[in-house]
Amino acid sequence: MAAFLFSRLLQSAALLVIVSIIGFTVLNLMPGGPLSQYALDPGMTQADIARISEQLGLNRPLYVQYLDWAWGLLSGDWGTSFRDGSPVIQVIARHVPATLLLMGSSTVIAVAVGTWIGIRGATHRYSGFDYVATVGAMIALSIPTFWFGLIGIYVFSLRLDWLPAGNMYTIGDGSVLNYLHHLIMPSVVLALVHIAIWSRFMRGATLDAISQDFVKTARAKGLSERRVVMKHVVGNALLPMITLAGVQVPSLLTGALVTETVFTWPGMGRLFLDSLGYSDYPVVMGLLMFSALLTIVANLVADITVALVDPRIRLA
């Protein structure tokens, strides 16, 4: 286990370095550069811009800027936002909880509903339910998340007036219920595509498990069908799903980005788009690194969980 963790940490560190180099380079290749917004200001002279560039250290060669930034990252200084001068870490920390709340609730919905649909689809293969679930999953996968969001807002906010169209809470009302009320639509919309993915994979994994010999053994012992499915089939079917959960984290993050924009949810996705708009490179890079870290940690946790659950695997 120690050896496994050690080698995985090394790999992760290397991965983060690569991601940061690519991210940094691509970001700086964008036309305009971080000072383009100042250039639009009629009160700015060329000399002013050169001075700002000098102050921010943007006139140095790119690799020096990168090394400087990377060193700062390691020592806990993620730089300061170009937009309002506050430390990047604080800016990100302000937005992370909202995104984690959205991702967390979406995951709970996607896993619960997807698992149920997958198991039922597999145990009742080729039934009406199975066909509806298959077609439903295809629809959910082929329609973009923002469209679901807009339709949701139109139907449940504008027409029925059941759910708020955006934001995380009503100003002046900080109750948990109010938060939950705002959370319902974005998390369900974000969950839709993941329910589709999760249910398809769960159906496949369940079918694999159902055809295993030990399931026949379980039946031959006289176990009830319910116990056969819940204990022997689902237990084994969930194993590969743990790995899938780890792999799904980046796509949840991407989905959150879109969903947050549609529902004016004050999370990382919104922050990312806004920062790109303002060419706030330190924040964009900070978000990129945070997402990469989150993805790596999620996959590591998934691998360790599989090893803990499956007695056959000893991490080495």
Partner 1 sequence: MVAGGQSASAPAIALSVRGLTVRLPDGMERRHAIEDISFDLPRGQILCVIGESGSGKSVTANTVMGLLPKVMQTSAGSITLEGREIVGIAPEELRRLRGQVVAMIFQDPLSALNPLMTVGAQIDETMAAHGIGTPGTRRERAIALLTEVGLPEPALMYHQYPFRLSGGQRQRVMIAMALALEPTVLIADEPTTALDVTTQAQILALIREIQRRKGMSVLFITHDFGVVAEIADSVVVMEKGHVVERGDAEKVLKSPDHPYTQRLIAAVPHLRAEDRPRAAGAGAPAKAEPVLRVRNLVKTYRSGSALFGTQRVVPAVQDVTFDVWPGRTLGIVGESGSGKSSLGRLLIRLMEVDSGEILFGDRDIAALSDAEFRGLRPKIQMIFQDPFASLNPRMTIGTILTVGPIAHGTRAARARDEAKALLDLVGLDARAFERYPHEFSGGQRQRIGIARALMFKPELLVADEAVSALDVSIQAQILELLDGIQRETGVAMIFITHDLRVASQICDEIAVMQKGRIVEFGRPSRIFFHPEADYTRELVAAIPGEHFGEQTRTAAETAARA
What is the binding site for partner 1 (CB under 8 A)? 2-3, 212-214, 216-225, 227, 231-232, 235-236, 239, 309-312, 316
Of the pair 159, 221, the CB lying nearest partner 1 is at 221
Residue 154's Cα: distance from chain center in Å? 25
Nearest CA to 286 among 55, 69, 18? 69
Beta bridge partners, 87, equal 80
> Residue 262: exposed, middle, or buried by beta-carbon count in 10 A (0-12, 13-18, 19+)?
buried
| Identity of the amino acid at 74 | L
Tokens of 85: 């001068």
Of the pair 157, 243, the CB lying nearest partner 1 is at 243
Are 315 and 307 in contact by the 8 Å Cβ rule? The answer is: yes
Are 274 and 84 in contact by the 8 Å Cβ rule? The answer is: no
Give the span between the Cα atoms of 111 and 130, in whole angstroms.
Answer: 18
Give the span between the Cα atoms of 234 and 207, in whole angstroms.
Answer: 10
Of the pair 161, 213, the CB lying nearest partner 1 is at 213
Q: How far is the CB of 132 from partner 1 (least distance, A)?
A: 20
Give the span between the Cα atoms of 229 and 215, in whole angstroms.
Answer: 8
Of the pair 181, 227, the CB lying nearest partner 1 is at 227
Of the pair 159, 312, the CB lying nearest partner 1 is at 312
Of the pair 217, 251, the CB lying nearest partner 1 is at 217
Q: How far is the CB of 314 from partner 1 (least distance, A)?
A: 8
Are 229 and 124 in contact by the 8 Å Cβ rule? The answer is: no
Of the pair 200, 232, the CB lying nearest partner 1 is at 232
Q: What are the two backbone dihedrals, phi and then psi, of residue 163, each rounded to the nearest 5 degrees? A: -125, 150
Of the pair 51, 216, the CB lying nearest partner 1 is at 216
Of the pair 21, 230, the CB lying nearest partner 1 is at 230
Q: How many CA atoms lie within 13 A of 133 on its CB side?
A: 27
Q: How far is the CB of 294 from partner 1 (least distance, A)?
A: 29
Q: What is the DSSP letter of 154?
A: I
Q: How far is the CB of 222 from partner 1 (least distance, A)?
A: 3
Give the span between the Cα atoms of 265 and 255, in whole angstroms.
Answer: 13
Are 252 and 103 in contact by the 8 Å Cβ rule? The answer is: yes
Q: How far is the CB of 226 from partner 1 (least distance, A)?
A: 11
Q: How far is the CB of 281 from partner 1 (least distance, A)?
A: 41
Q: How far is the CB of 172 from partner 1 (least distance, A)?
A: 51
Q: Which helix (H) or strand (E) holds 164?
A: none
Q: How far is the CB of 2 from partner 1 (least distance, A)?
A: 6
Q: How far is the CB of 96 from partner 1 (least distance, A)?
A: 35
